[in-house]
Structure formats: structure tokens, C-alpha cells
Structure 1
Amino acid sequence: MSERQTMPNASQHLARPLAIAILVTGSFLFAANHVAARVAFDDGTGVLLAILTRGSIAFLMMLTLVLAQKHRLSIPSGKRRWQCLLGIMIAGQSLCLYSAVARIPVAVALLLVNTWPILYTLLTWLLGGRRPTLRLTLIMTIILIGLVMVLDLGTWLADPAAMGPDWLPGVILAESAALFFAVAIWVTENRLSQLPGAIRSVFTMMTVLVLMALGGVLGIVPGGLNLPQSQAGWVGLASLAALYGTASTILFVLVPRLNMARNAPVMNLEPVASLLLGFLILGQTLAPVQLLGGAVVLSGIVWLSLMRQG
């Protein structure tokens, strides 16, 4: 999730090739985290356990950085309910995304989740913000057409069984993750923008951990805390925690110097990275029409990101 920091002077920004290289690396690390998660889930690992593991590592890293920077760990009284809502939204996004990754190809799940800017635009409009322009509506329509191709809806409608029993739940979960994230971004930008990003991140991650632990204790998600069944699952679990913690910490530290207003669309490479890694590690492949649809979706998302940054 993007963090709004005090904007550095242009001279403090890293050279653009280096900034882009860091963002590309971050995209691959996040994609690898989801591929590792699929390895863990295929070995019986519970979704809640995966979120708790990765969240604990990320929380400790972020907390260490916050304390090193001597930030005061407190939330103004008027912002506490919004900070709580932000944590709930990120918890929901994490749970739905990992649940989707466990059911459908990683690349498809991430393409669906990365449509959150469409939902954010519509949410902003519904809550009294600016009405989408004709060009924005056109871009969103193009993305939706691409999604129809990615999801291969023609095949699914002709023979739902051909896509497997987990296809529809996986798609619903992935799009739910996009909705949760859209709400989280709206809360961040409209209610918590004055709160330092470091403080916001620590309290958000803490809320996620508390909710996942509570969900595990109450048995809300059946099998949510199941342990891996073999060495492959343990490797996947350890890898997803290390990859997510490393990627989030790198971006957490370097975002103020990466000139995100100009370079943020690079992060949309994550679905492409997941497609490559999913093929190399998991053997997941998409049909040609799905690959073409993915290209359409990704192009639309990048175009939409450029508009939002402008």
C-alpha cells in the first residue's frame, strides 16, 4: 500500500534507472511471495498461519525502523477509528488474496486484485468525489474487456466444470481483495493522509495480526492454522514471510526517494512477474486468449495509474 510521506526535493530522489530497478525488484519479490504462498497452501498450510507468519516478520521489521527513527507510537484520538478501519480492510484484503491464490492461478488472482483503481474511482465518486471522465470510463471498460478474456468466461459459461470447482470462489475472493484494498486506499488518502506513513503501517500490521490470531483461535476459517505437511510446505511458508518482509521493508524505507508520482506504474509488473514465476515454479500456464487479456488489463491499469499520478 502506498505511503504518503513528506516529499523530498528532486535532488534527494534516486536516479530514475536505479529507482525503476528497485521497483521492479519489489514487484518480483511480491510476486515470488504469492508463488511461495501457493506452494505452502498446496502442502496443506493454513491461510491464517501464512498471513500471521509474513505479518509478524513485516511487523518486526517496520517496528524496528520506526523505533530507530524515534517516531512516537500514537494515533490522534480523532483518527483512531479510521486507523482501525484501515487495519480491518488490509486484513480482509490479505485473507481474500491468499485464499484466491490457493484456488486459481497466481497471475489471474493478481490481475483481478490489481483492478482496485477502478473500484477506488467508483468509490470516490459514490462518496461525493469527482465523477469519472469519459476517458476514464473508456479505460475502465477496456480493463473489464481484458478481464473477460483473462477469466475465459466463454469457456466457463459453456462448461463450468472445465474450469474446476475452485474457479468461481477464487475469482470472487480475488475481486473482494480488490474491493478491500480500494477502501483502504480511500481511507488512507481521505482520512489518514496527515498521519506519518511509518506509524500508519505499524498500527495497520498490528491490527492484521490481532485479527488473524483471533480468527484462528475462534476457528472462523476452517484449517486456517494448519501446519505444512512436508518440507516443501515449510520452505514455502518461510519463503513467503522472508520475501514479503524484505519487499515491504525496502519500499517502506525507500519510497520517499523513488519519486512514486512518476514511477509508481512500474509496480504493475507484479502480475507479469507472477505469470513468469508461476510457470517456472508451479507449472501454471494460461491459454493464449488469457495472455492477451492479461496484456489488455495490464495496459489499462498502467494507463489508469498514469492518469491518477497526473
Structure 2
Amino acid sequence: MSSIAPPALLPRHLAILLMMTVATMFAANHVSARLAFDNGTGLLLAVLTRSGVACLILLALVIAQKKRLWLPPGTWPWQLAVGVCIAIQSVSLYSAVARLPVVIALLLVNTFPIQLALLSWALGGKRPSLRSCLIMGTILVGLLVVLDIPSWIADADAMGPGWLTGIGFGVSAAFAFACALWITEHRLAGVGSTLRSLLTMQTVFIAMVIGGLLGAVPGGMSLPDNSTGWMGLTFLALLYGTAFSVLFIFVPRLDMARNAPVMNFEPVASLLIGYLVLGQMLSPSQLVGGAVVVGGIVVLSLSRGR
């Protein structure tokens, strides 16, 4: 029986350009979410819309690829757990975006490699090397600078009532995503990526519907107050769905083991888009801290890749 040849990799400059474009679209999705929240859109409605669009795209891919809607025995509970983790991550991320400058929320969420390394170690995996620990420590120092902890200690009221809560949501989103990645790697390796992603998005969608019916989040299903809110809601769904689809379709040709750190361009793109659309800007010291965080994550990703 002849084996099917893997798809040819894109030239590296095209792969990097495509991944930077996708990262920019994800960043624009988060800025659109903040725009929607600032104009009355409910948190659960935003996640519901985003996951609904993603479900439709993934269902079309499953039908086009003639995939079987079947999971190996014993994997259903783990698949459900991944869906719950991503639902928590989605709500926590948007909750952080609603309370913090978008770039700070994304920098917090992008610390998931640190939490994943520690979680893997705690669950019996390999202990992080001294080099990895030093890199993670550097990332945390940069994050403390980005969060402007001295200013918060000096005058917590000046930072706004949602500052500390937003930080908590950002860290929670990173932890939920790290848990989802660990389960995917160690318990769902035998499940096809298309089916796994579809079932995950379906779980998120159903969780948002149940949360809305139960009133789990006050005003969670509120419609936008004006055209700006509707525009934000529309763009967050379209941008996420498009970026997700492009990344999903092209990932076999992107040499992710080598090029994955390019996706850390997302906080940089969010900084520029957040300034242009929302007028959000960090101080010079916070910009330096952000550069340290992004640089450290890239180095850590390269180290893990090697």
C-alpha cells in the first residue's frame, strides 16, 4: 500500500508572513472584543458568537474531509475536559480584556508555556532545566514591569477597580489553556485534530448557552447598545473564525516546530491596534517589560523546540 506524501512546506518567508498575519488577526479579534464590551455586549454572547462561527467552519472541514465523528474508547471524558478548559479560558481571557489594556491581558495569557512546564513537572514529567527556569524567571520579572506593580502598590485606586481582577482572569486563562494542552498531548494524542477541535468548540458553544440560560454572568447575553458594539461583535467573530481557519488549514505546511514562536507577535500587534482603535498605550517602562516577556517566551519556545 502506498503511503500518502505529506504536504510540501511553504517557503519559510511565506510561512512567517502568513503566521504574522494570523497573529495580527487574533490580536484584532481581542481589540474588537474590547470595543464590543465597552458598548454593552455581554461576555457570554461574545464567546458564544465566536465559538459558533468556529463550529460552522470546523463542521464544513469535517464534511469536506469526510472525517468520522468517532472518538477512541475512553477518550470522551478527556475530550469533554478539554472543552471545559477552553470554555474557561475563553471567558477568562475576554474578562481580562474587558478590564485591562488588551496587550497586558495577552501578555498574561501568553505565560501559559511557564504554567504548562510546571504542570507537566507536577504530573510526573521532566523537571525544567536550569536554563528554562532562568528564562521563566526573566519572563516573570518583565511581567511585573508590564503590570506596573510599584504604581499599583502606591495607589491602587488610580489603576481602576478592575485591575487586580483582570490580572486574576488573565492568569486563570493561561492556566486553563495549559491544562487543555497537557490533556491534548497526554490523553488525546490519538484523536484527529479536526474532530478534536470541532468537539471542543461545540462544548464551548453549549457551555455558553447553558451559562446564559442560568444567568451565570450578569448581563452575559446582553446585546450591543449601538452600532459600534455590533461592529465589534461582528469583527471579533469573523476575525477569529478566519484566523482559526487559515491557521488550521495551513498548519501542516508551516513547519510549526521551527516557526511556532512567530505567533508571539500577537501581543505586539495588539499594542499597535489597541493604540489606533482604543487609544490604549503603555508607558516606556511597560514597553520594555513587554519586550522582555515576548523575547523570553520566544527563547523558551525555541528551547522546547530543540
Same fold (TM over 0.5): yes
Q: Which runs of 5+ in 2 are unaligned?
A: none
1:201 corresponds in structure 2 to: 197
Q: Secondary structure at the match of 1:57?
A: helix
1:293 and 2:276 correspond: no
Are positions 1:211 and 2:241 aligned together? no
Deviation sequence 1:146-185 (CA, Å, 0-9, x none): 0110000000011101111110000100110000000000
Aligned 8 A contact 1:90 1:181 in 2: yes
Q: Deviations over 1:188-243 (max 9, x none)?
A: 11111121100100000000000011000000111100000000000000000000
1:77 Cα offset (Å): 2.5
TM-score with structure 1 setting the length = 0.96
1:112 counterpart (67, 85, 108): 108
Q: In the alignment, residue 143 of structure 1 is paired with which amino acid?
A: I
Who is 2:8 aligned against? 12
Tell me the secondary structure at the aligned position of residue 303 of structure 1: helix
Report whether the alignment pairs 1:59 with 2:37.
Answer: no
On the 8 A contact 2:31/2:273 being kept in 1, the answer is yes
1:165 paired residue number? 161
- Please state whether the residue corresponding to 1:227 is helix, strand or coil: coil
1:7 offset after TM fit, Å?
11
For 2:37, the equivalent position in structure 1 comes to 41
How many positions carry a matched residue from both structures?
304
Percent sequence identity over matched residues?
A: 58
Who is 1:177 aligned against? 173
Q: What is the TM-score of this pair, normalised by structure 2?
A: 0.98
What SS does structure 2 have at the residue aligned with 1:12? coil
CA deviation vs aligned residue, 1:272-293 (integer Å, no higher than 9, x gap) = 0000000000000111111010
> Among 253, 263, 266, which residue is 1:257 paired with?
253
- Aligned positions of 1:201-280 closer than 5 A: 201-280=197-276
Paired residues of 1:8 and 1:256 also in contact (CA < 8 A) = no
2:46 to 45, 50, 57: 50
Indicate conservation of the 8 Å contact 1:44/1:226, yes or no: yes
What is the match of residue 3 of structure 1? none
Matched, 1:136 2:132: yes
- 1-side partners of 2:157 and 2:53: how far apart? 39
| 1:192 matches 2:188 | yes
Q: Secondary structure at the match of 1:77?
A: coil
What corresponds to 2:67 in structure 1? 71
Task: Name the CA distance, whole Å, in 1 between partners of 2:230 and 2:64.
Answer: 31
Correspondence 1:80 to 2:76: yes
In structure 2, what is the Cα distance between the partners aligned to 1:174 and 1:263?
25
After TM superposition, give the deviation of residue 8 of structure 1 in Å.
6.6
Contact 2:72–2:190 (Cα < 8 Å) also in 1: no
> Partners of 2:12 and 2:51 in 1: how far apart?
30
Q: Which runs of 5+ in 1 are unaligned?
A: 1-5
Q: Match of 2:240, as an amino acid? A: Y
Report the 3-state secondary structure (helix = DSSP H, G, I; strand = E; otherwise coil) of the residue aligned with 2:207: helix
Q: CA deviation at 1:99?
A: 0.6
Contact 1:119 1:179 in 2 (8 A): yes
Question: In 2, are the aligned partners of 1:112 and 1:171 still within 8 Å (CA)?
Answer: yes
Measure, in 2, the Cα distance between the counterparts of 1:194 and 1:303. 29
User: Secondary structure at 2:74's aligned position in 1?
Assistant: helix
Q: 2-side partners of 1:74 and 1:43: how far apart?
A: 41
CA distances 1:105-148 after superposition (whole Å, capped 9, x unpaired): 00000000000000000000000000111001000000000011
- The structure-2 alpha-carbon separation of the partners of 1:262 and 1:160, relative to structure 1 and needing over 3 Å to count, comes to same
Shift of 1:307: 1.2
Contact 1:144 1:297 in 2 (8 A): yes
2:255 aligned partner, one-letter code = N
CA distance in 2, matches of 1:251, 1:194: 21
Equivalent-residue separation in structure 1 for 2:50 and 2:207 (angstroms): 14
Aligned counterparts of 1:85 and 1:308: Cα–Cα separation in 2 = 25
Alignment partner of 1:282 out of 278, 288, 292: 278
Amino acid at match of 2:64: A
- Aligned to 1:102, the other structure's residue is in SS state helix
| Contact 1:87 1:207 (C-alpha < 8 Å) held by counterparts | yes
